[in-house]
Each structure stands twice: as structure tokens, then as C-alpha cells.
Amino acid sequence: MAAWGLRIAVVAAGLALGAVCAQEQAVRGQGSSAKAGAVEFLYPEQVTVEAGKPAVVKLHFRVAEGMHINSHAPKDEFLIPTTLEFPDGTGVKLERAEYPVGGEFAFANDPGSKLSVYMHEFEIEAHIRAEKGNHLVEAKLHYQACNNTQCLPPRTATVAVDVIGK
């Protein structure tokens, strides 16, 4: 009899604990999604290159589902192009960046106007030259994102890469 009481008590305690955890998760979940950016840097986190020599690093990014960002060459003069910048004084110089060609996108209410955008995943080839040593580069990706009906203000994402020049 006592054994049954014990089992029921343990199950009840487990259910109560589960309910509390679920509530906490629900509250936390509501606040976190709004702060997420539209572009996520995927990889690489670390690269090793020959010091003083030109090298190519392929930086991979993902655009949030349902969103797009302008390509490096948008078709409208006022739209903000996606650009990559390396800060000065890090021991790694960005000599040039090669951007992918954008895909075509049109808003449903204006199918005739095609925009040049990046969606899903894309990569930028950074042509760099690194000094000897270990350099944590915090590059900046400037972009402006929209979905099917609205646009977010221009944003800058940090692209952190550990560059080892040997």
C-alpha cells in the first residue's frame, strides 16, 4: 500500500516539476526570438594561412527563413548592398571580397520588378593577407533585410574569425 503511495507521489512530483519547467520555457521563448538578426555567420571560426601571402577564405552565411537581403549589386540605386569590411589594425587585411551573384526576387504585388537578393545560404570569398601570428578578426557584414511584405532597418553583423598566419 505504502509502495503504491510512493509511486503515485513520485509521478505527481514529476508532473509538477515538468509543468513548472514548461512554464519557464514558455515565458523565455517569447522574448528571445525578436532579437535575432536576419543573417547568421556559419563558418569558418578559424583558418590558417601563409603569413604575408594572399589567401582566400570562404565565409558562409545563412539568411533567416522567409527573409532575403539585398545582394552586393541590388538593381535599385537606393537599396543598400551587402558589404563585408575588415577593421584596420588587426594584422589581417581584406584586399578584396568576391560576392555571389544575387538571385531574383519579386514582391507578390509587383511581380514585374525583380530585385537581386541573397536567400537561404550564401558565401563571400574574402581575399586576405595576414601577418604572422594569431589574429582574432571581427569583420562586419552590412546588410538590409526584408520579408515578403516589410523591411527591417539596415544592420551590421559581426563575423568573428580567428586567422592564424604561419
Partner 1 sequence: MKRNTIVLGVVLFILATFAWAGWANFEFRQQAAQLRLASAERGMLVADPQGGPPEYVSPLVGKPAPAFALEDLSGAKVSLASYKGKAVLINFWATWCAPCKIETPWIVELRNQYGAQGFEVLGISADDLDRGDAKKFGEEKDEIAQSATKMHIPYPVLIDGATLSDAYGGLDELPMSFYVDRNGVVVAAQMGLTSKSEIEGNIKKAMGM
Print the SS3 string covering 46-105. EEEECCCCEEEEEEEEEECCCCEEECCCCCCCCCCCCEEECCCCCCEEEEEEECCCCEEE
Distance CA 87, CA 52 (A): 18
* Of 100, 70, 99, 75, nearest in space to 85 by CA: 99
Count of residues that bind partner 1 according to CB under 8 A: 35
Nearer to partner 1, 17 or 136 (CB): 17
* Binding to partner 1, residues 12-51 (CB under 8 A): 12-13, 16-17, 19-20, 23-24, 26-27, 30-31
* Binding to partner 1, residues 56-115 (CB under 8 A): 76, 78-80, 107, 109-110, 113, 115
Quick count: other Cβ atoms within 10 Å of Cβ 124? 21
Tell whether residue 10 is a contact of partner 1 (CB under 8 A): yes
Q: Which of 35, 36, 89, 153 binds partner 1 (CB under 8 A)?
A: 153
Where does this chain bind partner 1 (CB under 8 A)? Answer: 2, 5-6, 9-10, 12-13, 16-17, 19-20, 23-24, 26-27, 30-31, 76, 78-80, 107, 109-110, 113, 115, 144, 146, 148-154
